[in-house]
Structure 1
Amino acid sequence: MEIEIKVDNSCKEPKIIVMTNEVTEEINNLVKRISQVAPQMMIGFREGGAEIIEQEKISRIYAENGKVFAIADGNTYTLRLRLYELEERLNKNYFVRISNSEIINLKKVKNFDLRLTGTICVKLDDGTVTYVSRRFVTKIKQILGI
């Protein structure tokens, strides 16, 4: 793929033009990535107040007892969105679902222990240990290039 950037002082807003002889899967993926809006704001609730949570500070998001929680900078926040809604809002380059009830930030992973048969043990920077469910092991291995 060839990339060309032109600087034009009369240009008021950036403009992207894709020139191709056919629309391929690669072109469709490129257009999707370019047109994605910036990650949306996250609001968490704790101690009776609402706080803005920066996505890069979140280590994990999980569902428990019918509620959804996020761990960010050592604090636990209650979220009012469901996991599938959060999955759409989170930066897909860093966040990955590891089970039906949990999403982790790959930037906050200390290591992956692959010794267990059928699952993967994940250790996060904050000391939390969690597990990839069997259903998501193949997806995680693909992401990790294993």
Structure 2
Amino acid sequence: MKLNVDIDDKYDGVYVTIQAKEWTKEIEELVSKLQQPASKRIIGVEEEKSILLSPEEIDYIYAYNRKVFAVIHKQAVEVNMKLYELEELLKGHGFTRFSKSVIGNLNQIHRFELSFNGNLCVYFLSGSKEYVSRKYVQDIKKSLILGVE
């Protein structure tokens, strides 16, 4: 992919033009990222206090007993959003589906190991770990190898 940036006083706004031979998944994802509002923080709830969470710090987010929690440095913080809403919001930040109830931050992965049942055990930089179900293993491997979010 080639990138061309033209900064000039003659422009009164920001214009993005994509030129390609054909429509690809990469272009679709790029357009999707450009159209997303720039959300920098997520609000978590801890002991009746609202706290701001940066997506870069989150290892993974999971749903349990109809509640959603974000894990930062092995600590779970409740988030008052649905898992699918967070998945859509955080796509541009390197998050992807790990299982039916977990989305994980690919940028925080330290290493991973394939377990005997076909699941993938992901170890994060913080030391926490989570499992990727077999259904999502190939997508995760592809994302990590190709750098696709």
The residue that corresponds to 1:39 in the other structure is 39
Give the conservation status (yes or no) of the 8 Å contact 1:39–1:91: no
1:25-36 alignment runs, 5 A limit: 25=24, 27-36=27-36
Pairing 1:24–2:26 present? no
Aligned residues: 145
Distance 1:24 1:49, change over 3 A: same
Sequence identity (%): 34
The residue that corresponds to 1:139 in the other structure is 139
TM-score between both structures, scaled by the size of structure 1:
0.82
Q: Unaligned 5+ residue runs, structure 2?
A: none
The residue that corresponds to 1:129 in the other structure is 129
Distance 1:128 1:6, change over 3 A: closer
Alignment partners' CA distance in 1, 2:19 and 2:139: 32
The residue that corresponds to 1:63 in the other structure is 63
Give the conservation status (yes or no) of the 8 Å contact 1:46–1:76: no
The residue that corresponds to 2:119 in the other structure is 119
> Displacement, 1:29?
4.4
Alignment partners' CA distance in 2, 1:92 and 1:130: 21
Pairing 1:10–2:10 present? yes
Which stretches of structure 1, 4 residues or longer, exceed 6 Å deviation after superposition? none
Distance 1:129 1:32, change over 3 A: closer
> Displacement, 1:74?
4.7
Could you say what secondary structure the match of 2:142 adopts? Answer: helix
Q: What is the one-letter code of the residue matched to 2:114?
A: L
Pairing 1:76–2:76 present? yes
> Displacement, 1:144?
2.5
Q: What is the one-letter code of the residue matched to 2:8?
A: D
The residue that corresponds to 1:49 in the other structure is 49
Alignment partners' CA distance in 2, 1:37 and 1:73: 27
The residue that corresponds to 2:99 in the other structure is 99
TM-score between both structures, scaled by the size of structure 2:
0.81
Q: Deviations over 1:54-94 (max 9, x none)?
A: 11111111111221111124542111111111101114351
How large is the RMSD of aligned CA atoms in angstroms? 2.5
Alignment partners' CA distance in 2, 1:2 and 1:104: 29
Give the conservation status (yes or no) of the 8 Å contact 1:95–1:105: yes
Q: Unaligned 5+ residue runs, structure 1?
A: none
Which is further off, 25-34 or 76-85?
A: 25-34
